[in-house]
Structure 1
Amino acid sequence: MQIDGHTRLAAVVATPIKHSISPFIHNYAFDKTGINGVYVAWDIPESELEATLANVKRYDMFGINLSMPYKRIVTQYLDELDESASLTGMVNTVVNKNGKLIGHNTDGYGFFASLPQEFDLKGKTITILGGGGAATAISAYAAQNGVGKINMFSKAKYLDVTIERQGRVAEQTGTRIEIFDISDKKQIQEKANDADLLVNANSVGMDGISTVVSADMVFKEGLLVADVIYQPFETPFLRLAKAQGATTINGLGMLLFQAAEAFRLWTGEMMPTAEVWQALEEKYKSEN
């Protein structure tokens, strides 16, 4: 990678963000594609978010990625939102297009791009464990792309917010979405039995010990099971499903493919995902 007077900058913005793997992914892609760019991580307080967006224009950056807690509040500083960002109310990618800042949400695309190619979303039933940002992005993308039904499980204290947000998705897409309390393990089992895809879209399991489902959870034959978590590489949730013969997918693919879509939006070029995936697998398997 050579930095010169023509090098353009991209960044991920959040707090905390020093742990982010995004610089590894994007700088690897810049290097492999020969695009003159550099990607860094900016840990900034909320008070500096508006100025940060202004600097994207000022320094003619490709754009930025955003993580929590800025995915929702950043929308007030943007010139335009694409359909995915409008539907979810969240932005994870900002594109600087000729001085206009356009917000996108590539998380839902990234998740479904990480699934086996033979999985056809149209008409399917999916059950999502979690009602936060990842869950919202997944449900919105599914609703936009022909899913038959969505069952979503949220924490009791967030049920009203989840019902409101998913109500907007249902209204705008015509998709049937039902919301349940995530503490109801019996209901989780019932809705998993109805589903073609079961997704853990919350942080439970990042400790490598806990799981959002009961220890005697039964995963029906043919159920595809996914987790948005990628560290640990295999969560207790996925381990339980895998032990019963289910096909399991961790969150590393979602991380890669949401980044690949951001890369395409910024540069117009395709990220060499196969090469990046191999590097990521080697990195994370070695750390687990």
Structure 2
Amino acid sequence: MKQVFGVLGDPIAHSISPVMHNAAFEALGMDCTYHAFRVEKQNLGDAIKGAKAMGFGGLNLTVPLKENAIGLIETDPLAARIGAVNTIDFKDGIKGYNTDGIGARKTLEDAGVDIEDKNVLVLGAGGAARAIAFTFTEAGAKVNIANRTPERAMTLAAEVGKVNGFGLDVLDRCLEDTDILINTTTVGMDPNIGDCIVNAEQMHSDLTVFDIVYNPLKTRLLQEAEAAGATPVTGIMMLVYQGAEAFRIWTGVEPPVDVMKKAAMEALRL
């Protein structure tokens, strides 16, 4: 009988994780299958226990469930510090992990960008922002967080430590000294592809602009980066790398990253 894996979220129809993971299972000849399940926040605990009871191999969590998993299951130290879970493993009980920050860091490394000692400005204060802020700070980056609601940015900054949080009204001044700009919000995601928080006039040519939004592949923010002569980095590889790390946690098998990337790219072109 096939080993079942899945991603839980609400909404969930947009997820390309099933395409990506099923391509990996097929490439490795593994008798496994991966599906998407719509789960509302109030039902998350029951859904996780049900998946465990039915013999699932593991789960991913996406918005808006990542932070809700805290307190429901055991978490590894990093996920506990981040306060969000995106990967659940069932091999030894029920244990939660967060692979978002790892995915973001590997994406930048792929682009030839080292984060150590770099000034990183994170836009947003949600689950992905939390993962990136904690992971990048631990890796030696100097992180600032900007959010539409300044209080949320300051709260997250205080939790991370050695980080500043502020509103969007000071972006111009902050961007002058920023090496890496990371958008963790949904601004610019399909269908609102014309939306953008930062424009070309606010950027400089030595800036790396990383948008974790991957649909469309070239967001308005990345178009603005190109216009400014900055280095654009698309979010598709963050999806691939965080998924690859989850695959490794579940199976102990080295994931076929190139296969996962190809499947994800093909799904976005449909």
- TM-score normalised by structure 1 residue count: 0.88
Query: Could you tell me which residue of structure 1 aligns to residue 33 of structure 2?
Result: 38
Amino acid at match of 1:200: N
Give the Cα separation in 1 of the matches to 2:101 and 2:44.
24
* Identity %, equivalent residues: 33
- Aligned partner of 1:181 among 167, 175, 189: 167
Q: Quote the offset at 1:151 in angstroms.
A: 1.3
Query: Could you tell me which residue of structure 2 aligns to residue 64 of structure 1?
Result: 59
Query: Could you tell me which residue of structure 2 aligns to residue 196 of structure 1?
Result: 179
Moved over 4 A (4+): none
Given that 2:124 and 2:153 are in contact with CA atoms closer than 8 Å, whether structure 1 keeps it comes out as: no
Question: Secondary structure of 1:64's partner?
Answer: strand
Q: Quote the offset at 1:280 in angstroms.
A: 2.4
- Aligned partner of 1:134 among 106, 128, 153: 128
Q: Quote the offset at 1:48 in angstroms.
A: 2.7
Given that 2:151 and 2:166 are in contact with CA atoms closer than 8 Å, whether structure 1 keeps it comes out as: no
Q: Quote the offset at 1:162 in angstroms.
A: 3.1
Given that 2:70 and 2:80 are in contact with CA atoms closer than 8 Å, whether structure 1 keeps it comes out as: no
Question: Secondary structure of 2:197's partner?
Answer: coil
Cα distance change on mapping 1:283 and 1:86 into 2, 3 Å: same
Alpha-carbon displacement from aligned partner over 1:143-179 (angstroms, at most 9, x marks no partner): 12121x11110112xx323322321211xxxxx2111
Structure 2, unaligned stretches of length 5 or more? none
Given that 2:16 and 2:267 are in contact with CA atoms closer than 8 Å, whether structure 1 keeps it comes out as: no
Cα distance change on mapping 1:179 and 1:46 into 2, 3 Å: closer
Q: Does 1:123 align with 2:117?
A: yes
Structure 1, unaligned stretches of length 5 or more? 171-175
Give the number of aligned pairs: 267
Cα distance change on mapping 1:189 and 1:230 into 2, 3 Å: same
Give the Cα separation in 2 of the matches to 1:191 and 1:84.
28
Amino acid at match of 2:47: T
Q: Does 1:15 align with 2:6?
A: no
Cα distance change on mapping 1:279 and 1:73 into 2, 3 Å: closer
1:140-155 to 2 correspondences below 5 Å: 140-147=134-141, 149-155=142-148
Given that 2:199 and 2:221 are in contact with CA atoms closer than 8 Å, whether structure 1 keeps it comes out as: no
Query: Could you tell me which residue of structure 1 aligns to residue 104 of structure 2?
Result: 111
Give the Cα separation in 2 of the matches to 1:275 and 1:46.
32
Q: Quote the offset at 1:276 in angstroms.
A: 2.1
Query: Could you tell me which residue of structure 2 aligns to residue 173 of structure 1?
Result: none
Given that 1:53 and 1:77 are in contact with CA atoms closer than 8 Å, whether structure 2 keeps it comes out as: no
Amino acid at match of 2:206: G
Query: Could you tell me which residue of structure 1 aligns to residue 155 of structure 2?
Result: 164
Question: Secondary structure of 1:126's partner?
Answer: strand
Rg larger in structure: 1
Query: Could you tell me which residue of structure 2 aligns to residue 82 of structure 1?
Result: 76
Given that 2:207 and 2:230 are in contact with CA atoms closer than 8 Å, whether structure 1 keeps it comes out as: yes
Give the Cα separation in 2 of the matches to 1:244 and 1:145.
28
Question: Comparing 44-53 with 251-260, which one deviates more in the overlay?
Answer: 44-53
Alpha-carbon displacement from aligned partner over 1:74-108 (angstroms, at most 9, x marks no partner): 22221x2112211111001111123x111111111
Given that 1:136 and 1:166 are in contact with CA atoms closer than 8 Å, whether structure 2 keeps it comes out as: no
Query: Could you tell me which residue of structure 1 aligns to residue 248 of structure 2?
Result: 264
Q: Quote the offset at 1:121 in angstroms.
A: 1.6
